Structure 1
Amino acid sequence: MMDGFLVIDKPKGKTSFDIVADLRKILNERRIGHLGTLDPMATGVLVIAIGRATKLNEFLMIMDKEYDAEIVLGARSDTCDAEGKIDYKPEYIKAIYKEASARKEAEPDLKKVMVALEEFKGVIDQVPPQFSAIKVNGERAYHLARQGLPVRLPSRKVKISDITDIGFRVDEYGYGILLEGMEKPVMLPVVNCKIKCGSGTYIRSIARDLGEKLGCFGFLGGLRRTRVGQFDLERAVKVENVKAETVELIPLDNVLEGWARMDLNRADYDRIMRGQRIKVGGSFPGSYVSGYYEGKLVSILRYDNKLGSLKVYKNL
C-alpha cells in the first residue's frame, strides 16, 4: 500500500485529471488525487496525494503558490488565455506605447506596466474568468460559457504576495498570433513576471485585469507553476518516468513540519481510533496536532483548551 506525495512536472496539453488517471494505472492505486488544478495550457508543479495522503488534501490546498507568467498585451481572449477566441485590433496596443519622436521610434512603456502591476500586490478583489470550474447554481461556469450563456461571477478576496522579475519582450521576441486572413502572425508585446500568491488566485484574471488597467487588453500566453508550499520543481518528475517499482514518495510527515506532535501510548491510540477524546497535560500551539503511534502518523487532532483534551479531527 502506498502513502505519500509525489510532485509531477505537468506537461502542456494534459489536464490535471489526465495525470491522476495515468498515475492510477502506473501505480495500480485508486486513492490518488491532485492538490490544485492546473489548466491544460499550464505546465509545472502538480502535487499528487496517494493513499492516506489524500486525507491531508485540505491542509495543502491552502498553500501559497508561485508561477512564471507570460502576459500578452494588445488583444483579449474570451477564456483569458491563449486557448480562447482572440479579439485583436491594431489600435488596442497604442495605449501602452510611448509616442515616437524624430530621434526614437514608438516603444512600449515598461514603467507604465510596472506601475500597473504594483496595484495587484496585497489582498485584492478578483473576478474569476467565466471559463472556470466555479459553480453557478450547481453548474460549472465553463459549461454555461461554452453555451454562450451569460456568466456573472462575484469577486472574491485573493492575496498576491509579490510580483517580481518583470521583463518585456517586443517585436520578433514577442508573442505571435495568427488570425484568419493573415499570412504572417502579428507580434504582440509580452510581460514576463514571477507571481507569488495565495490559494484561489487566477493568473488568467491578473492578465485580463492588467490589460484593462493599461487600456490595451491582455490575456495569459503561458504559465508555469514553480512551487506549491514546500513542493517545488526540484522535486518534480515527469509522469512518464514514474514506475511503481522505483517511485519514491514524500512522507506524510513532511507536510506537517511545524505542527505540534503527540506520541500516543496504546491506550490513547485505541481511544483515538474509536473517535474518543484523550486527556493531556499542558497546552499545544497551533490549531492542529499530529498524532503518532509507534512512529507512524495516525491522526490529526485538535486541542480543546477548556477541557484540556485532544479530540479527533481526522484519523488517517
Structure 2
Amino acid sequence: MVVSELDVPVVGAPMAGGPSTPELAAAVSDAGGLGFLAGGMLDAAALQEQIAEVWARTERPFGVNLFVPATADTYAPRPRPLDGTARAMAVSAYRDRLAADAARLGAELAEAGPDDTDDWDRKVDLVIRERVPVVSFTFGLPSGDVIHEIQRSGTQVVVTVTDVEEARAAAGHDVDALCVQGPDAGGHRGTLDESKEPSGDDLLDLVSSVRSAVALPVVAAGGVATPERAARVRAAGADAVQIGTLLLLCPEAGTHLVHRRALTDPSFTDTAVTRAFSGRLARSLVNDFLRAHDGHAPAAYPEVNKVTRGLRRAAAAAEDPQWFALWAGTGWRRARPVPAAVVVRDLGAAS
C-alpha cells in the first residue's frame, strides 16, 4: 500500500482552485512523500495535461483527487435535506444577498443553477487509462463498481472521511485507505454529506477511533503544522500525515498572490469554518466577506460556489483579500516560503 510505504510519511493535500500544481505534486513525491493533483473543478482535458506533466517530472508515485458529484454519490441520503425547488430558492436568495457587494466590486454573479457532474465520467475514465498510482475521493462515496474498476487498473483508492460512521461506510466499499480529516484542516471539510456538521473531535482522538473501527491504512489531515504534532498523530495510529496549508507559500504552489500575502499579513488573526464561499463548510482566514455572510449560505455545493465565483475573481483582480476565499488551517502561521521538499523533510523528520 503506497501510503503506508512512503520513505517520508507525508502526503501533500490536493488543493483545488490553483494551489496544487504538477510541480508541487512532483516535488512532494520526489522528497519521499506522496504528492497530489487536485482534479476537482478541472475538466478531463485539463487534468490530463497535469497528469502528463507530473509523469514527466517524477518517477515516484503520486495521486489525483476527484470531487464526487451528487449524481455519483452512494453515501448521502436522497432526496437531500435541501433539494429541488427549495434548494434553488435558497441559492437564489443568497445570490440576492450578495448583489450589493458584487456591484461595488464590479462583479457578475452567476445565476443559481443545478448540480453539475464536474466532468465525472470522463475523469474516472482518465485516471483508469493513465493508471494513476493513487486516486482519492472527496465530498462523497462512489459506488463499489467504480472503486473496483479503478482498482483493477492497479490504482489504489482513498476516500476522505471525517468520522467513524463515514470510515465504516468507505471500508464497506473496499477502499484501500482512508484520509481522516480533523476539524483544524484548511479549506473544505470532506464530509460525505454536504449538509452534515462534521465531528469536532481532535485529530488524535479521531485517528484512534477510526483505527479501532476499521482495519485500513490511515492518512491523518488537519492542523498538522509541526514535526512534534506529526509525531503525535503518527503515534495515535496514522500511517502518514497530510499537509496543505504548510505548502501554500512554497514556490512550487500555484497559490494566488492575494492568498499568499494574506497568509503572512499580521492583520489576519484567526480562521473560521463557513459555508459562505461555496455552500460547503470550509476553513478560511476571517475576512470581511466571511464576517458579512457567514451563516447565510445554504448547504448547496456546487451552486453557491458558482454564484460567488465572479465576486472572488473580482476581488483577486483588485488584489483585495477581504472578499477572497483565503483557505487556511489553524496552523497557517507555520507556513514558510521555502521549497516543498524542505517542508516535507522537516515534517517527516520527527515522525
User: Shorter-chain-normalised TM-score: which range?
Assistant: under 0.3
The structure having more radius of gyration, on CA atoms, is 1
- Normalised to the residue count of structure 1, the TM-score between the two structures is 0.24
The structure with the largest helix share of the pair is: 2
